[in-house]
Structure 1
Amino acid sequence: MKFHHNLVAAVVHALRAIFVEQQYADKVIERILKSNPRWGARDRGFVAESTYNMVRWWRLLWFLLQQTEAPKQPTDEELWRLFGVWALHHHGLIPPWAELSSLNANQINERMAHARTIRALRESIPEWLDIQGIQELPEQWTDILPALNQQADVVIRVNTLKISRADLAELLQKQAIETSPIEADGLVLSKRQNLFKTQEFQNGLFELQDASSQAVAPALTVTTGMRVIDACAGGGGKTLHLAALMQNKGKIIALDVEAWKLKNLQIRAKRAGADIIESRLIDNRKVIKRLYDSADRLLLDVPCSGLGVLRRNPDTKWKLNPEVMAQVREHQQQILQNYSYLCRQGGQIVYSTCSVLPSENQLQIQAFLESQAGKFTLLSEKTLLPHLTGFDGFYIAVLERVG
């Protein structure tokens, strides 16, 4: 493979922004690609995929560079050498550049052989996370990690308010975008392509949404005319899915603590033709109390560690630590305790996360059901594990209010 010096410089720039300036990888990549509009598809793909790959294998690469831990403030010189290590590890060669002249391929390969014997190094995760994972999922953790290090497929959800899945697949095929149907309303692309500039996306015919994420809205078993509350709506991917399942008949109240997310949701809803969605900002406790006992269905897609979606957001694992994990679990339980009252008696809650850890999933539901607020019956729960499904890791629990 031939490497272009200017493209590698962009990768180094991206890594500096992610790890030194602590910016989110997806935002960094988006900004770099926008600032270089003359790059072709191959160049854009190289910069994006190389950056994500190096973020994914961050700990392993530094080990191969003979550093026990990644430096907190890596220099550009170190990042260039790290790219050389990655190039050898993934493409079998080190570019013949002055910045990489100090690298020794034999030494790197010897250290790789050693790393393969240590799971946390081999799978490139923090030591504390490996310990927690094996404690919580002793029979599955070793199989889960390689799946989380795979590049995620591009999956879309067909907006059935506007088009059928078969018709959308036919439209995309005419543009040489090959897809295969999956469960529910999904299509998976045969190869990675940028879909945001297609007329079909601009017309609201589909949204990008992983297959596991698409399993959440159907779990609410909504019907037309229902009153549904999405209490952690965020950008609204699942909110829009609910509107389609309800055939745009009924009422969906989308709540969030971030006004900009709700603004984005309204833009997406207009594009999708979903006009039953009303957004409300949670800026005080009264917003929640006014909605007590009002929802036929309540979605609590709570903030979580994001460990189930590391394929898409590999930088997440480097931003987490035990203290952050404890705060996440506390927040999840607070949401369950405080927001569950929005569900009317006989109504149902779906609690979901994009995590695979029981401490964020089954154990949270167990603690909730044992609490004073937990006047619910657990109807079903399932964990979607990436090594079994081939898609993101998710947890989905369905509860019915009985008191």
Structure 2
Amino acid sequence: MEKFIMTPAARIAAVIEILADMQLASAAGTLLGRQAGQWLRAGLQRRRYAGSGDRAAVGDLFWKIQRGRARLGWHLASINAPENPRNITLAALVLMEQKSAALPQLFSAEIAHAPAPLDDREAALVAMLETRDFIDPAMPEHIALEWPEWLMADAKAGLGDGLMRELAALMTEAPTDVRINPLKQPDRRRLRDQLAGRGIKGHPTRLSPLGVRLEKRTRLEDLQEWKAGLFDVQDEGSQLAALLCDARPGMQVADICAGAGGKSLVMAAKMENKGRILALDPDAERLEKSGERLRRAAIHNVERKLVAEKWSNRSWRGKFDRVVIDAPCSGSGTWRRQVDARWQLTSEKLDKIKDTQAILLEKARAMVVPGGRIIYITCSVLASEGADLIKQFLANAPEIELADITDIWGDTIGKIGGGACPPTNDGLLQLLPGRDGTDGFFIAVLQARLR
């Protein structure tokens, strides 16, 4: 289909329509479980005629609104304006993009595919918003930080004095990190140069010795280097978590929440394809995706196994040198990527998640050999999914103790040229977006005592 350039007004109309679709789904109770990015893609799919510049512009305004949802809603509520798609878009254009002077031309009956002209109430709304600053000192802290109010205490317990810095960092756009496959491309600087030769600029990640951070988001799946398995996309924090598993050639490793296989890829490469990784997951689609990644990376010591939601570990008791739990969690450490997920989480859902985390720790406790390790990982910044849960687990597991994660960092990440280990707290490591530049990852390495 022939592409043509949308007008700025048509781009705004597209955003309003996508927001309206989301509002209708929410009213019908069908919004939960579908992420904002899926709504954006569906809206753009209906506009196949739009070029890349149009898609980028529509996406930019859409994501600004998603990232400012609580603050924009607060402004509208404070002047008794309903939070409908047109109003919230107007608020974003005035408060975030300072385009109030251009609104009469952008909302015009004289421009094809433009939003309808402003009515008297909308014109009055714009006039009131023009007198305001987007960040208002009167905003409650949780509104200013775009954070669910009911999770503030949990986040404060997890982040301490870094609360403001880290929650602010989780409001920004996430970077794109790629990771070399050590089996095929042992030098990340060479990969950086290969990507630069294709017009994709990046620089080595600060902490991970395997990563390159790209200057901007780029489609990578069509690159020959990606097809050849020289690299994969993986956040720096996830790379570090996988390296801290300290998987070695010949080991027996259980990856009991394997997902799409990101950590299995790193561990298998460090094991030089020697030994075995048993990758368990209850999601067949995720396991299939991991298989594609493993084949592309030339990894063949990973056995993928689909398990039930409530699976038994009876046949795997006391069999593994490493048991890795990349546990289901709130995902709060990744909310700069999944912007709307923070508003879809409920206390009931979080309670179920924490129950699952405790169950998985008990399964791992039975599966690890004496002298082996359990590596517990969540992409969360909440104390209840990290330090609190581990302390509770250790209180009831006398044969398990905390390993020195700083020493493990030095033996794994430091030995191959990574950055220094960030500060730990009581032997537990929290990687942070504001301080460390990674997604928010909690990592605990638990040692099974020799009997």
Offset from partner CA, 1:300-357 (integer Å, 9 cap, x none): 0101111111110111110112222222212111111123211111111110111111
Of 171, 175, 179, the residue aligned with 2:194 is 171
Of 6, 16, 21, the residue aligned with 2:10 is 6
Whether 1:134 aligns to 2:156 is yes
Of 212, 215, 220, the residue aligned with 2:245 is 220
Of 38, 56, 59, the residue aligned with 1:45 is 56
Q: CA contact under 8 A between 2:155 and 2:383: conserved in structure 1?
A: no
Q: 1:69 to 1:267 in 2, by over 3 A?
A: farther
Q: CA contact under 8 A between 1:18 and 1:24: conserved in structure 2?
A: no
The percent of aligned pairs where both chains have the same amino acid is 31
**Which range moves more in the overlay, 298-307 or 111-120?**
111-120
The one-letter code of the counterpart of 1:83 is T
Q: 1:374 to 1:89 in 2, by over 3 A?
A: farther
Quote the residue 1:202 is aligned against: 227
Offset from partner CA, 1:263-299 (integer Å, 9 cap, x none): 1111111122111111111127665221111111111
TM-score when normalising by structure 1 = 0.90
Whether 1:110 aligns to 2:132 is yes
Whether 1:266 aligns to 2:313 is no
Q: CA contact under 8 A between 2:95 and 2:133: conserved in structure 1?
A: no
The one-letter code of the counterpart of 1:7 is R
The one-letter code of the counterpart of 2:93 is A
Quote the residue 2:416 is aligned against: none
Other structure's SS at 1:27 match = helix
Residues 29-178 of structure 1 mapped to structure 2, 5 A cutoff: 29-34=40-45, 36-66=47-77, 78-94=84-100, 95-96=103-104, 97=107, 98-101=116-119, 102-103=122-123, 104-108=125-129, 109-110=131-132, 112=134, 114=136, 117-134=139-156, 136-163=158-185, 164-178=187-201
The one-letter code of the counterpart of 2:435 is L
**Which range moves more in the overlay, 167-176 or 283-292?**
283-292
Give the Cα separation in 1 of the matches to 2:274 and 2:80: 54
**Which range moves more in the overlay, 174-183 or 41-50?**
41-50
Give the Cα separation in 2 of the matches to 1:52 and 1:186: 26
Structure 1 residue 143, shift from structure 2 partner:
1.8
Give the Cα separation in 2 of the matches to 1:389 and 1:298: 26
The one-letter code of the counterpart of 1:167 is R
Give the Cα separation in 1 of the matches to 2:53 and 2:402: 49
Q: CA contact under 8 A between 1:304 and 1:329: conserved in structure 2?
A: yes
Structure 1 residue 225, shift from structure 2 partner:
1.6
RMSD (Å) for aligned C-alpha atoms = 2.5
Give the Cα separation in 1 of the matches to 2:199 and 2:157: 46
Offset from partner CA, 1:353-403 (integer Å, 9 cap, x none): 1111121101111111112x4521101321112211122111111111115
Q: CA contact under 8 A between 2:282 and 2:309: conserved in structure 1?
A: no
Gaps of 5+ in 1: none
The one-letter code of the counterpart of 1:9 is A
Whether 1:238 aligns to 2:263 is yes
Query: In the comparison of the two structures, how many residue pairs are matched?
Result: 396
Q: CA contact under 8 A between 1:59 and 1:126: conserved in structure 2?
A: no
Q: CA contact under 8 A between 1:155 and 1:208: conserved in structure 2?
A: yes
Give the Cα separation in 1 of the matches to 2:44 and 2:298: 30
Gaps of 5+ in 2: 1-5, 108-115, 406-427
TM-score when normalising by structure 2 = 0.81
- Pick the structure with greater CA Rg: 2
Whether 1:315 aligns to 2:340 is yes
Other structure's SS at 2:161 match = coil
Give the Cα separation in 1 of the matches to 2:335 and 2:118: 29
Give the Cα separation in 1 of the matches to 2:194 and 2:440: 30
Structure 1 residue 82, shift from structure 2 partner:
1.0
Q: CA contact under 8 A between 1:156 and 1:188: conserved in structure 2?
A: yes
Other structure's SS at 1:140 match = helix
Other structure's SS at 1:290 match = helix
